[in-house]
Structure 1
Amino acid sequence: AALAQTFFHWGFSPWAVYGLVGLGLAFFSFNRGLPLTFRSIFWPLLGERIYGWLGHLIDLVTVFATLFGLCTSLGLGVAQVNTGMWYVAGDVLNLGTIPTGTIPQVALIAGITAIATLSVAAGLDGGVKRLSTLNLYLMLALLGFLLVVGPTLFIFGAWLEGIGTYFQNFLALTFFTGTLGTGEAGSVGSGTVATTVFYWGWWIAWSPFVGMFIARISKGRTVREFVLGVLFLPALFSFLWMSTFGGSAIALELASSGQGPVATAMAGDNGGTIAMFAMLDQFPLGAVTGILATLLVITFFVTSSDSGSLVIDHLTSGGKHDVPKVQRIFWAITEGVVAAMLLLGGGLGALRTASVSTGLPFAAILVLMCYTVYKGLKNEYEILESEEFAETIEELTAEEDVDVVTAGDEMVTDITEGDEAAGGD
């Protein structure tokens, strides 16, 4: 039940939001030739008015949602890094006590922001790409290690069982509000509504950032390929990740006669931020994996800050790819400053509130986006089915230097010159 609730928060629902945003951006930019910004998705509703104040307002709301979504991630990330360093240095390596709290976390924000700023200044190939590659290797190394030394059979069993329970209770989880009670303890749907609302606000705030990234790497894909790739592959990997770490922690608790090591650690002052490190310490090379996990969390948020700065920079420049370097640096620093101010002003609660406060209003834009994407795809289908389009294709195929490329029995999707096509064979 616990894994099913986790799968619900990290599974198909958030990736459906990301897929909607990515599909809208990709379609109206690559198929219709509009700027790769959020205002372009509303062309079916606004037409040329996307270049006026309504378009500016849409992009402005998008920028604020992205900014506060990233600030929430950065603030929660430094809390986990701080407690991780404290736990590994004190309880695992016996090197002494590392201070925890707001001031050390603000210092960590400054450090992560500095690294992110240097990375953004170095450009995509010089900084962002290298950090992203390092992040991927660290993630796969930690996941593979825990799969091997941890309770492997239990992990895969929990993975399959969790997916089954998630599918079985998907509608109940989706429409659960707690109005009729929270259910029996431990039952699916007994999770707090506040947690779900926070996650939805957080994911919606992240949707411009992730959707933009997905759109930029999806040029040339069919809609079917896009939807299947975005909706299923990331969700299934998330299920495996959650099952590996969550399943290992559950196995430790079930093997304990009383309160297990993870529950004991979570009962302390640092709560859930220390759970992963307490769990890793129960397996071989606990100190090494604890340090590795700390580095992984840092690189996750450095790369997120990098990419977020590039996306915000892209939106505020009207969809231009080549912008002054100082502009990218400005947004990277702004993210760190806002996160630090929220942390100093209200702690982690303020960070959560900021994400929900900006994410949920953006949900109204997502609802309209559902209609505009549908309208755009419907118009595209009507064009491809029209007699005028068929006549154009016949004229092109009659010319010797033009090849019409089709995907099996599907409609024509691309047209290339015959000489270029022959040269590529």
Structure 2
Amino acid sequence: MKTKLIDWPTFIGAFILLIGVTVPLVLFPEAGKELVDQANTFMTGNFGVLYMVMGLVIFAFLIYVAFSKNGSIKLGDEGEKPEFNTFSWAAMLFAAGIGSSILYWAVIEWAYYYQGPPFGVEPESKEAIQWATAYGIFHWGPIAWAIYTLPALPIAYFYYVRKKPVLKVSEAVRPVLGDRVDGPLGNVIDILFMFGLLGGAGTTLALGTPMIAEGVHSLTGIPANLGMKSAIMLLCTLIFAVSAYSGLKRGIKVLSDINLWLAIFILGFIFVVGPTRFISETTFNALGILTDNFFKMATWVEPFGNLGQFEQTGFPESWTVFYWAWWLVYAPFVGLFVARISRGRTIRQMVLGTMVYGTLGCILFFGIMGNFGLYMQLTGSFDVIGFMNENGAPATIVEIINQLPLAKFMVLLFTILAIIFLATTFDSSSYILASVVQKNVEGEPLRWNRLFWAFALCLMPLVLMFLGGLGTLQTASIVGGFPLIIIMFLLAWSFMKASNTDIRASDDYQSSTIHIERWKKKKRKKKRSALEMLEDKPDNDDK
């Protein structure tokens, strides 16, 4: 083992922090849950507006970067072609950034908005339906993918332009913090990122595992109990461990490609055999609502509810602030991964591609799967709301898929897709965690390092699942991820500082080169003129 490559303070620190949070939750689950919930309520209630401002500022900043001179910078050598074709690149970034959570929320999120709509709208009204179709796309749209993309800027820049083989968040803020990132401060930054990712992974497992279990139950009749959920989690761990061990091109790329093709088939099938016209019109209408109310939705924090004279729904804290915090926790990981797979592209292509392809994918999932469930509800062919309130969301999601023709076959494909989606998120996560705890990454992180983090990602959530504490770990990661707001600001500052410095140096070099060439040209011209004068001067013999 090449243990000298490992950054042991970061490696051990992240593992100790995870155990330090998990063990108290194991020993004192009720007290731990109450404490974490109180901290989460305090954070979202008092700093919710900060998360909202962060989302808008990052979105505006990335649009500026994409169309500025900085956006033209090539990630790699001049003339170098992209390492991955556009299809595989889009598949990997989408699978890493979304995971099986998209299958969960795309199908059922509208039902929550329908029952508890924003802006004081009456529940289950016509207006509530309008907002229910648009808000899911908003929460999984451009701002979400902008938050994901920001960390990719400095990380990709240093890795491919300045040729520093280090995939660390701390290294990306070196232009601002200087050599301080080589000490404890840099370790703290990387450890906070890793803790957030490990906790965020718990959220994905908390949503994905019960849904997969309900799919298996629907197909086999086996109860979706704790034993089945544990078996599913171990199966997913085995898949993403093999994928992560195989590496980026032979494992993660192949799994992501399969994942995307299967998703395209399922979405296409629902669109064709389902209520095609309703899905098309409702999705198009939702995009219009979103476009017309984008800034209203991005800035609504329900301020008057605090005065006691208006009913406070808690919608912004429960949904928008929660989502922005969740994306923030995952952002350094997705940014690191997007940076790693974007070799040969320009900054502009990386930024716009991630935001556009990511948003487009989410629009298709929410537009097709979500509106299919909404159609069932509105036509009375299946009471989604009633079934969900009685049986829970995971069982309802599978039951909605059961309303399709070839129900068993589609549930099977849906379950397989959920397993692969879960695996693609985790193999990407283990790959990046392994990269962060290495001093440098030449090509691929060490294989044993990748396997270690693949099983570490599963171990703690598995223990907490037995105790019913997965949701608490997810909440703890969001609370612990609050300092990442500051780190995101440092990442943006670092990228602009480094890239602008290099652009100015390049401009000065080109300017001096042009000046020298002009000087040489003038000198050659004068020399030619002098020679011509000598040639034209008559000899003494001619006199």
Superposition TM-score tier, normalisation by shorter sequence: 0.7 to 0.9
Matched, 1:33 2:163: yes
CA displacement at 1:332 relative to structure 2: 0.5
Aligned mate of 1:379, from 501, 506, 513:
501
Q: Would the aligned equivalents of 1:132 and 1:303 in 2 still touch at CA under 8 Å?
A: yes
Q: Would the aligned equivalents of 1:72 and 1:354 in 2 still touch at CA under 8 Å?
A: no
- 1:350/1:396 CA distance change after superposition, 3 Å: farther
CA displacement at 1:54 relative to structure 2: 2.1
Q: Would the aligned equivalents of 2:404 and 2:410 in 1 still touch at CA under 8 Å?
A: no
Secondary structure in structure 2 of the residue aligned to 1:267: helix
Aligned mate of 2:375, from 251, 255, 269:
251
Rounded to whole Å, the distance in 2 between the matches of 1:208 and 1:253 is 38
Matched, 1:296 2:417: yes
Aligned mate of 1:285, from 406, 431, 434:
406
Matched, 1:118 2:118: no
Q: Would the aligned equivalents of 1:5 and 1:191 in 2 still touch at CA under 8 Å?
A: no
Rounded to whole Å, the distance in 1 between the matches of 2:398 and 2:380 is 18
Matched, 1:305 2:426: yes
Corresponding residue of 1:107: 231
Tell me the amino acid that sits aligned with residue 237 of structure 1. Answer: G
- 1:244/1:395 CA distance change after superposition, 3 Å: farther
Corresponding residue of 1:318: 439
Rounded to whole Å, the distance in 2 between the matches of 1:397 and 1:114 is 64
User: Which one is further off, 141-150 or 316-325?
Assistant: 316-325
Secondary structure in structure 2 of the residue aligned to 1:241: helix
Corresponding residue of 1:80: 211
CA displacement at 1:156 relative to structure 2: 1.7
User: Which one is further off, 170-179 or 148-157?
Assistant: 170-179
Rounded to whole Å, the distance in 1 between the matches of 2:503 and 2:317 is 40
Rounded to whole Å, the distance in 2 between the matches of 1:151 and 1:33 is 52
Corresponding residue of 1:22: 152
Tell me the amino acid that sits aligned with residue 489 of structure 2. Answer: V
Rounded to whole Å, the distance in 1 between the matches of 2:413 and 2:385 is 22
CA displacement at 1:150 relative to structure 2: 1.1
Tell me the amino acid that sits aligned with residue 420 of structure 2. Answer: T
- 1:265/1:393 CA distance change after superposition, 3 Å: farther
Rounded to whole Å, the distance in 2 between the matches of 1:393 and 1:226 is 31
- 1:37/1:31 CA distance change after superposition, 3 Å: same
User: Which one is further off, 36-45 or 295-304?
Assistant: 36-45
- 1:197/1:83 CA distance change after superposition, 3 Å: farther
Q: Would the aligned equivalents of 1:343 and 1:351 in 2 still touch at CA under 8 Å?
A: no
CA displacement at 1:366 relative to structure 2: 1.0
Secondary structure in structure 1 of the residue aligned to 2:151: helix
CA displacement at 1:103 relative to structure 2: 4.2
Rounded to whole Å, the distance in 2 between the matches of 1:345 and 1:361 is 28
CA displacement at 1:164 relative to structure 2: 1.5
- 1:285/1:53 CA distance change after superposition, 3 Å: same
Corresponding residue of 1:336: 458
Q: Would the aligned equivalents of 1:76 and 1:348 in 2 still touch at CA under 8 Å?
A: no
Rounded to whole Å, the distance in 1 between the matches of 2:214 and 2:186 is 43
Q: Would the aligned equivalents of 1:245 and 1:276 in 2 still touch at CA under 8 Å?
A: no
Tell me the amino acid that sits aligned with residue 219 of structure 1. Answer: R
- 1:103/1:177 CA distance change after superposition, 3 Å: farther
Rounded to whole Å, the distance in 2 between the matches of 1:79 and 1:181 is 35
CA displacement at 1:397 relative to structure 2: 12
Secondary structure in structure 1 of the residue aligned to 2:163: coil
- 1:117/1:292 CA distance change after superposition, 3 Å: same
Rounded to whole Å, the distance in 2 between the matches of 1:396 and 1:262 is 74
Matched, 1:212 2:333: no
Corresponding residue of 1:157: 281
Corresponding residue of 2:104: none
Matched, 1:167 2:281: no
Q: Would the aligned equivalents of 1:66 and 1:206 in 2 still touch at CA under 8 Å?
A: yes
Task: Structure 2 unaligned segments of length 5 or more: list them.
Answer: 1-130, 307-312, 521-543
- 1:374/1:284 CA distance change after superposition, 3 Å: same
Rounded to whole Å, the distance in 1 between the matches of 2:518 and 2:259 is 48
Corresponding residue of 2:181: 50
- 1:153/1:390 CA distance change after superposition, 3 Å: same
CA displacement at 1:284 relative to structure 2: 0.7
CA displacement at 1:144 relative to structure 2: 1.0
Rounded to whole Å, the distance in 1 between the matches of 2:516 and 2:436 is 39
Corresponding residue of 1:412: none
Rounded to whole Å, the distance in 2 between the matches of 1:54 and 1:48 is 10
Structure possessing the higher radius of gyration over alpha carbons: 2
- 1:140/1:255 CA distance change after superposition, 3 Å: same
Tell me the amino acid that sits aligned with residue 425 of structure 2. Answer: S
Tell me the amino acid that sits aligned with residue 13 of structure 1. Answer: I
TM-score by length of 1: 0.82
Tell me the amino acid that sits aligned with residue 349 of structure 2. Answer: E
Rounded to whole Å, the distance in 1 between the matches of 2:276 and 2:193 is 42
CA displacement at 1:76 relative to structure 2: 1.6
CA displacement at 1:225 relative to structure 2: 2.5
Secondary structure in structure 1 of the residue aligned to 2:483: helix
Task: Structure 1 unaligned segments of length 5 or more: list them.
Answer: 90-94, 183-188, 400-425
CA displacement at 1:73 relative to structure 2: 1.0
Identity fraction in percent: 33
CA displacement at 1:18 relative to structure 2: 1.4
Rounded to whole Å, the distance in 2 between the matches of 1:393 and 1:292 is 62
Rounded to whole Å, the distance in 1 between the matches of 2:513 and 2:192 is 41
- 1:219/1:125 CA distance change after superposition, 3 Å: closer
Tell me the amino acid that sits aligned with residue 16 of structure 1. Answer: A
CA displacement at 1:392 relative to structure 2: 4.1
Rounded to whole Å, the distance in 1 between the matches of 2:432 and 2:347 is 23
Q: Would the aligned equivalents of 2:206 and 2:471 in 1 still touch at CA under 8 Å?
A: no
Rounded to whole Å, the distance in 1 between the matches of 2:414 and 2:362 is 17
Aligned mate of 1:362, from 484, 501, 504:
484
Rounded to whole Å, the distance in 2 between the matches of 1:119 and 1:222 is 28
- 1:75/1:394 CA distance change after superposition, 3 Å: farther
- 1:323/1:348 CA distance change after superposition, 3 Å: closer
CA displacement at 1:394 relative to structure 2: 7.0
CA displacement at 1:395 relative to structure 2: 6.8
Aligned mate of 2:474, from 344, 352, 374:
352
TM-score by length of 2: 0.65
- 1:38/1:340 CA distance change after superposition, 3 Å: same
